[in-house]
Each structure stands twice: as structure tokens, then as C-alpha cells.
Amino acid sequence: MPAQRTDTLTLGEGAFARTLALRILDAQDGNSLPQLVWLGGYRSDMTGTKAVELEAHAAATGAACLRFDYSGHGASSGRFTDGTISLWLEDALAVIAHAGGPRMVLVGSSMGGWIALRLVEELRRRGEGHRIAGLVLIAPAPDFTAALIEPQLTEAQQLSLNERGYFEEPTPYGPDANVFTKALLDDGRQNLVLTGMIETDCPVHILQGMEDPDVPYMHAITLMEHLVCDDVVMTLIRDGDHRLSRPQDIEKMKEAIAAVCAHAPNAGISTPK
């Protein structure tokens, strides 16, 4: 049986010191499939349904899997309200440097889709773009701060940002309100990806619910228009919501991962055990 283990990674100094929680599943001996790397959404963690099902899929196919919590999320330390896209991107880059495989499929949910696209940019800039074998983006929310939040700010929210440095918004996903800080919004503008053509050099599969109340499906179509890779597929789920965590949605995630792995450069071949 492949080894499963937990790990930690300490980053930063002073006010930005934090310890990240990781969960690693090793590949079965002889398996050549890319490692599956989970990139969660805003305020989500690696114990969510999709993340757990991703690891189960990796175990069934013999592939390696890497899950982690951004700082301020889940089992990782740090204050959530100190977080920005740049900080969580730094977390992801460090985790991949620490435990990432030579070839990876990034599976990004919501904000994790934005982090995935920024990861590709940064790894390509470092000459490591070949490590990304594919992307599976679930209800991706690239540029959500500038494209989805800022245009909808009310006068009260803008006043709260100016006076308190943040505003709160009720969410149907838990008892605590979402908190959006001025630092997050300002930093988001430094990490925009929908400003030109996005080069990935790998297959991309987007899963998007058409009943998503948080990320309109037209946002996913806009993302697709910016992807210059020929091997880009989008699956629109007519009755799908933002979470896409129903059994039928999980099956589509697994199918998308299998398709991306099959079309990845130097794709390995493995069958479920």
C-alpha cells in the first residue's frame, strides 16, 4: 500500500512566520502518473469533500497526491485576515518545492484556480514549467477580487474598507461571515491573470456549474478565451452550484483528471487497483 503521511513546513519570519500543514500520499511503485496537487478555495481546507475524494482517486489509480492548507486555513497557522493572493501563492510555491513531484496535475477549486494559474506563471518564469502536466480547474475564480468583488462594492462596504481595512459579507457555507480585507483587494490587483493570453503548455479542463451564485459561468468562459493552449476543455454543469461536491460532480472531477493525465506530455499509464 502507498504510504500516507502528514508533514509540516515552516515559512517566513516575524509577523509572517507560519507553519503549513501537509498531507502526502506516495505513488505506488512503478506508477508514472503525475502527482495530483490540491489547491483549495477561499476559507476552505484540505479536509473538504473534493480534496478527500481527490486523494481517494489518487490511491485508486496508484498516483501520488499532495494536499495542504494555506496559512490561516485549516490546520495551518497564521491569521486568515493577514492572507493575500501573494502570500498564499508563496505558500503553494514552497509546498511544491518541498513535496511536489517532478510532474504534477494542479487541481484548483475556486480561488485555487487563480493560485494554480499564478503557479504556472511563476514556475515557467523559473524554468520549471515542464513540471506542470495539466490543470483541472473547478469553478475557477481568477482575478475574483478585481472582477467579481470590487465592481459590486456597496457604499457601506467601501466605507468599511476605508475606515476598518475590511468588510464582512454573510456566506451560506458556514456560520461566520466572509472577511475581505483592503490588503487582499490591493494585492489582488498585483496578481491579475486575465490581462492577456495565458500560456500553460499543458492540457486544461474547466468544470463550471451554471447555477453557481458566486462565480458566474461567464467568468469561466472569459478564462477560456484567455487560454491559448489548444487542449482546453470546459464542462458546463447545468444544475451545478459553486461547490460541485455532489457525487455526480465528483465523478466529473475524476473524469477530468483522467483525461488531463491521458493527454499530458509523457503521460503514464495506470489502471485502478
DSSP reduced 3-state for 253: helix
- Residue 1: pLDDT band (50, 70, 90) is low
Residue 163 has pLDDT above 60, yes or no: yes
Nearest to 242 by CA among 111, 74, 89, 70: 111
Nearest to 207 by CA among 161, 160, 159, 250: 250
Convert the pLDDT of each residue in 66-99 to its tens digit: 999 999 999 999 999 999 999 999 999 999 999 9
pLDDT, mean of residues 100-124: 98
d(Cα 35, Cα 26) in Å, to the nearest integer? 9
Q: Which residue, chain included where needed, has cell 518545492?
A: 97
Q: Phi/psi of residue 179, each to 5°?
A: -115, 125
The residue ranges of every structural domain in the chain are 4-149+198-263
Convert the pLDDT of each residue in 167-183 to its tens digit: 999 888 777 889 999 99
**Topology at the third CATH level for domain 4-149+198-263:** Rossmann fold (3.40.50)
How high is the pLDDT of residue 271? Answer: 37
Convert the pLDDT of each residue in 125-153 to its tens digit: 999 999 999 999 999 999 999 999 999 99
How high is the pLDDT of residue 133? Answer: 97
Alpha helices in 33-103 (DSSP H): 49-61, 85-99
Convert the pLDDT of each residue in 205-247 to its tens digit: 999 999 999 999 999 999 999 998 768 999 999 999 999 999 9
How high is the pLDDT of residue 174? Answer: 75
- Residue 120: pLDDT band (50, 70, 90) is very high
How high is the pLDDT of residue 2? Answer: 67
This prediction's pTM: 0.94
Looking at the chain, how many residues does it have?
Answer: 273
How high is the pLDDT of residue 264? Answer: 82
Convert the pLDDT of each residue in 13-68 to its tens digit: 887 899 999 999 999 999 999 999 999 999 999 999 999 999 999 999 999 999 99
The three grid cell numbers given for residue 95, joined into one nine-digit string: 509546498
Instruction: State the CB neighbour count (10 A cutoff) for residue 176.
Output: 11
Higher pLDDT, 86 or 271: 86
Q: Output the DSSP codes for 147-173.
A: IIIGGG--HHHHHHHHHHSEEEE--TT
Q: Which residue, chain included where needed, has cell 467568468?
A: 219
- CA 179 to chain CA centroid, Å, is 19
Residue 164 has pLDDT above 90, yes or no: yes
pLDDT, mean of residues 243-271: 85
